[in-house]
Structure 1
Amino acid sequence: MQNFKDYFNFNKRQERGVFVLSLILIMSILLNYLLPRMISDTAPLPTQSMYLQQLATASISPKKSTYSSTSNKERLQLNITKDFDPNFVSKEELLSIGLNNFVVDNMLKYRKNGGLYYSSKDVAKIYGMKAEWHQQLEPFIKISPPKKQKIKWRKSKKTSTKEIKSKEQIEKPPPKINIYLGINTADSVALLAVNGIGPFYAGSIVKYRKRLGGYTNINQLMDLYKMDSTKFLQWKEYLFVDSVEIRKIDINKVAFKSLLKHPYVDYETTKYILNKRKSLGKYAALYELKDTDYMPDELFEKLKPYLSTY
């Protein structure tokens, strides 16, 4: 009996070991008891979460597709209820019917650059114009004939040298064969009355006039893009240089970039004019520009009408 009791006599170190083992044993029992219940209670959650996720995915996907389709239809559907003339309609009116800024700006730029809309097909050619938009716009596009304008003209020298003074005759657009237009005052609409001048060249004549500051010689039309002597001779009979105040460039004040914009002045010529101004302090007269290398006589004579020293 004494030997049996000896089995339960432990020193301090052994007591700690027995305590730890007992603690592990108790925890193992508790885990075996509690773990199945914990798994049973929490197992449905992943299943429920997955179900909800699948449900959300299944319901959102079709809606997204439907929304996209609806959105596209809304963007293509214009809100137009009344007729309009693309040659006169405002930016605000175009935006209000549902066209985007990009297309509206392109329509207005075409007009600003001298272009005219002659039919609904011209509107369809605008960059960015969708076919769906044009189909909706076409029934409402009503283009008015060009307004009668008071333009400076006289009968061709070939038919008569007598000036037309009657107010009624001046306001009435003359026949193409008899028209005689001043290229410094005629707009792109009036220029279309000349046989052989279409929208492209009518716009080009007006735009080049603005770049120059006014025409001083009929031969300057030969500088136009894609111009040739055949067209020039065809037009020359019906065009003349009417007297207007030419826009002058003050070479004592002009900035580099402003001077460079003139069609007759390139980078080297601009640099020469401004460098010489710097060395002189100020130009006293235009003839001081003359230089064999940078400002030969031919160039000087072309530029002279457009320059000033004050």
Structure 2
Amino acid sequence: MRIWLSKYFGFSKGEFNGLMLLILIIAFLKFLPLIYNYYRPIEKDDPNLLASIQNIKFTDEQSYLYTRDKIESSNHKPISKLFKFDPNTIDAEGWQTLGLSLKQAQSILNYRNKGGKFYKVEDLQKMYTIAPEMYKKLLPYVEIENQHQVFAKKDFQYEKKEYTKKASVIVEINQADSAGLDEIKGIGPAFATRILKYRTRLGGFYKKEQLMEVYGLDSVKYAEIKDQISVDPSEIKIININSADFNALKTFPYLSYKQINAILQYRKQHGKYANVNDLKKVAILTPQVIDKVLPYLSF
């Protein structure tokens, strides 16, 4: 390199040595910081450094919270002041002036909006938002309008109702309508309707005891009404057994469909029934059934 510089640039040996020295100095200065950092001894942190940092952070957070609360309280909460008030009419701002927070005030308003009412001073203790200490502070200032009138006893005039007892009557049950049956003590509209429906299906009653066949009218109810009724058998509907068809007999409560068919088939095969003895020849008819249907039949 020295020969090349001497040949092309005319550098002498001394000039070349000076140039190389300059290059070495520049390189040394350039890499000096790196060398220093590599060989520099490690410094130990102050043992109280972490605590100091945390203290600074805690102090900053306290300062922030204090500033925030101060701003919020100045914007949203009036200065606390006690005054006479009615808990049934005071608004949210009034409650806050008395020392409650906005949330506490709103809870009381919600209670009132749902129909809640303070009838006496002690009712304030029911509100969980009002602490016992706050209740003691507010107690001397509570004034509920018409408090005594609300709880004053009212003079009620009790009117003694006298129920008119049904007069004892005798009702003929084959001709009576629903109003007539309702006159019977112990027979209301429901029983009257049932009796009329069964009477229509049956064709009338030939004896009182048949009333116990009406749905819901048991022996106890029958004993209650039997002396208030009479029966006229001449009012029952008579069926001619020799001319009646299936439709004429099918609503009759004492005969089943099978028994009706047996009656009609026997008549078709043997001719008309002359009397009850012929009816007894229908094997499917029991003596009990014949006794029940006989008052309604003609031959």
Larger Rg: 2
Q: Same fold (TM over 0.5)?
A: no
Higher relative contact order (CA 8 A, sep 6+): 1
Short-chain TM bin: 0.3 to 0.5
TM-score (normalizing by structure 1): 0.41
